[in-house]
Structure 1
Amino acid sequence: MVAILRSLPSALLLCWCLQAHGETLRIVTDSWAPYAFEENGKAQGIDYDITALIFERLGIQVQWQFLPWKRCLAMLDQGQADGILDIFQTNERDASLFYPREPLSEVEWVFYQANDRPHPVQSMADLKGLTVGITAGYDYGDEFAQAPGVIRESGPSQEANFGKLAKARIDLLITDRRVGEYTIKRLGMEQRVSRLPMEIGSNPQFLAVRRGAGMDLLVQRFAAELRRFKQEPAYAQLLARYADAPMSGKTLPSAAPQILRQPPASTAGQRESSAM
């Protein structure tokens, strides 16, 4: 009984905070398959499914919107969104955002090459003189950004960059390992491109919310439920489902129920290079 009484003020504060926003939590994100994306008008993805399921367990209604990454950051900064999915934690953002202590997933930056035009890249120095496809707005870390002699060619999406690689318009492309493998399967390019063994860095991805009344409790509850879910068989099944079945034009069965969302917007890739 004592524990229940102690938790009441925080619980009431959280409820008040959500009621102030029409009893929904407004979360924005961009298209970043297989972590979060839309297929045939249905939102899905590893981190989307996990987040939606956890909020459903917590009894919190969520309103989703898919937008270009820079616009997601702007909406968060301007108070037009309460949270953002799959964001990296930075010192600059700590003053304005709360992060759960448990990440949703981990990004691993790797290179891909065309099998008929291999490049023996084992270090950043080996990239000198090569054209590397990047996605507009993404930050791949200081090591790659500062590598000398690299020709960086921006593309609007992961699919566009893999198309450039197949057509010999670029020598390599850089992306997240899981995103790369998923995209290759979607495009049917398993025999045409392959991943280089060198990994250049990793970043945990979080759900983050704007600092405000009750939001610290929200991320604590979210983290606790996320840790519990990761111990359940359903978590491993969810990861396997997205790893094994990326079929273009077919909607994967979702681990999370459908929840209130806004109509989707254009989803040109924009991730992490714009500070809040």
Structure 2
Amino acid sequence: MPVILKLLTAVLFTLLSLSAFGEKLRIVTEPWAPYVYEDQGTMRGLDFETTVAVFQRLGVEVEWQFLPWKRCLAMLDQGHADGALDIFHSPDRDALLLYPSEPLSDVEFVLFYANNRPHPVETLDDLRGLTIGTSPGYLYGDAFSESSLFSREPAPSHEANFGKLSLGRIDLLITDRRVGQHVIKALGLEGEVSQAPLVVSRQQQFLAVRRGAGMDLLVQRFAAELKRFKQEPAYATLSAKYGGIQAITASEHTVEQQESGAP
């Protein structure tokens, strides 16, 4: 039997097995707008809608659940979830998770500060003695995570971090550029918060699943279909809808249009 036929047969058996028992893939994620979020009871976002489209083409039903990111990771560890949306690759997770070869999107972690307490940092050394708001379970890169120059203070949500920044309880916060701009707009903080020039790290986001029978083949099919979908007009439409984010520059508080399209 040709290799490709064996692959397709194994995937088919996996999907039929799920269907026979009325099972769905249980995918967990944290609201991470504009990549994935809930809007008036409806789940939306560039990576969410892309993943839904790909799974529909593969004939896979998915049960979605929003949780704090640290809880998402615990659900994966305990076997209570089959996968996670918008997770970064980490060698520490390779024994548990399978990652498609094709990422969903790219993340650029930057710092935000309150305009009435400016900290336009350009290097990590500029953070010396400061307190930086973080999110539990997120990977910001070794240089940031292992530095002893500054303190890190977690918050339960991105909105909570921006609230603490506005109240002066932290000096800066770190989050993805697009996410930060989305929260600033949602909270009405335009003109009150700016982005510092420093890009702390860049990482790719994936839809990863727990290792198990047939999952390696499902991941391969997901990657192939995702790559195909990204070449189509439907993905270009999603990118235009969620990709164009305006970023407030750190030095002049002017608006700069970020490149629209795939992250």
TM-score normalised over the length of structure 1: 0.80
* TM-aligned CA deviation for residue 143 of structure 1: 1.0
Q: Is the 8 A contact 1:97 1:209 kept in 2?
A: yes
1:168 maps to which residue?
168
CA spacing shift, 1:169–1:77, aligned 2, 3 Å: closer
CA spacing shift, 1:157–1:2, aligned 2, 3 Å: closer
Q: Is the 8 A contact 2:69 2:136 kept in 1?
A: no
Give 3-state SS (helix, strand or coil) of 2:170's partner. Answer: coil
In structure 1, runs of 5+ residues without a counterpart are 247-276
Q: Is the 8 A contact 1:17 1:214 kept in 2?
A: no
Give 3-state SS (helix, strand or coil) of 2:50's partner. Answer: helix
CA distance in 1, matches of 2:210, 2:24: 14
Q: State yes or no: 1:192 paired with 2:192.
A: yes
Which aligned pairs between 1:174-253 and structure 2 lie closer than 5 A?
Answer: 174-243=174-243
Q: State yes or no: 1:85 paired with 2:62.
A: no
CA distance in 2, matches of 1:169, 1:71: 25
1:130 maps to which residue?
130
CA spacing shift, 1:148–1:92, aligned 2, 3 Å: closer
1:39 maps to which residue?
39
Q: Is the 8 A contact 1:130 1:171 kept in 2?
A: yes
* TM-aligned CA deviation for residue 125 of structure 1: 0.9
CA distance in 2, matches of 1:185, 1:55: 31
2:142 maps to which residue?
142
Moved over 6 A (4+): 1-4
Q: CA RMSD in A?
A: 2.4
In structure 2, runs of 5+ residues without a counterpart are 247-263
1:98 maps to which residue?
98
2:49 maps to which residue?
49
* TM-aligned CA deviation for residue 162 of structure 1: 1.5
> Which one-letter code corresponds to 1:33 in the other structure?
A
CA spacing shift, 1:198–1:90, aligned 2, 3 Å: same
Q: Which has the higher contact order (CA 8 A, sep 6+)?
A: 1
CA distance in 1, matches of 2:169, 2:6: 62
Q: State yes or no: 1:18 paired with 2:18.
A: yes
Give 3-state SS (helix, strand or coil) of 1:55's partner. Answer: helix
CA distance in 2, matches of 1:21, 1:245: 43
Q: Is the 8 A contact 1:125 1:147 kept in 2?
A: no
* TM-aligned CA deviation for residue 220 of structure 1: 1.0
> Which one-letter code corresponds to 2:85 in the other structure?
L
* TM-aligned CA deviation for residue 147 of structure 1: 2.3
CA distance in 2, matches of 1:141, 1:8: 37
The alignment-based identity, stated in percent, is 60
CA distance in 2, matches of 1:34, 1:221: 25
Q: Is the 8 A contact 2:11 2:218 kept in 1?
A: no
* TM-aligned CA deviation for residue 138 of structure 1: 2.7
CA spacing shift, 1:207–1:20, aligned 2, 3 Å: farther
* TM-aligned CA deviation for residue 56 of structure 1: 0.9
More deviation, 137-146/207-216: 137-146
Give 3-state SS (helix, strand or coil) of 2:164's partner. Answer: helix
CA spacing shift, 1:155–1:95, aligned 2, 3 Å: closer
Q: Is the 8 A contact 1:17 1:213 kept in 2?
A: no
CA distance in 1, matches of 2:116, 2:232: 42
Give 3-state SS (helix, strand or coil) of 2:107's partner. Answer: strand
Q: Is the 8 A contact 2:87 2:205 kept in 1?
A: yes
> Which one-letter code corresponds to 1:72 in the other structure?
C
> Which one-letter code corresponds to 2:51 in the other structure?
T
Question: Which deviations, in whole Å up to 9, do the C-alpha atoms of 1:226-265 show, x marking residues without a partner?
Answer: 111111232232123235699xxxxxxxxxxxxxxxxxxx
CA distance in 1, matches of 2:144, 2:4: 50
> Which one-letter code corresponds to 1:43 in the other structure?
M
* TM-aligned CA deviation for residue 85 of structure 1: 1.0
Q: Is the 8 A contact 1:182 1:243 kept in 2?
A: no
1:268 maps to which residue?
none
CA distance in 2, matches of 1:109, 1:3: 41
CA spacing shift, 1:54–1:189, aligned 2, 3 Å: same
Give 3-state SS (helix, strand or coil) of 1:148's partner. Answer: coil
Give 3-state SS (helix, strand or coil) of 1:28's partner. Answer: strand
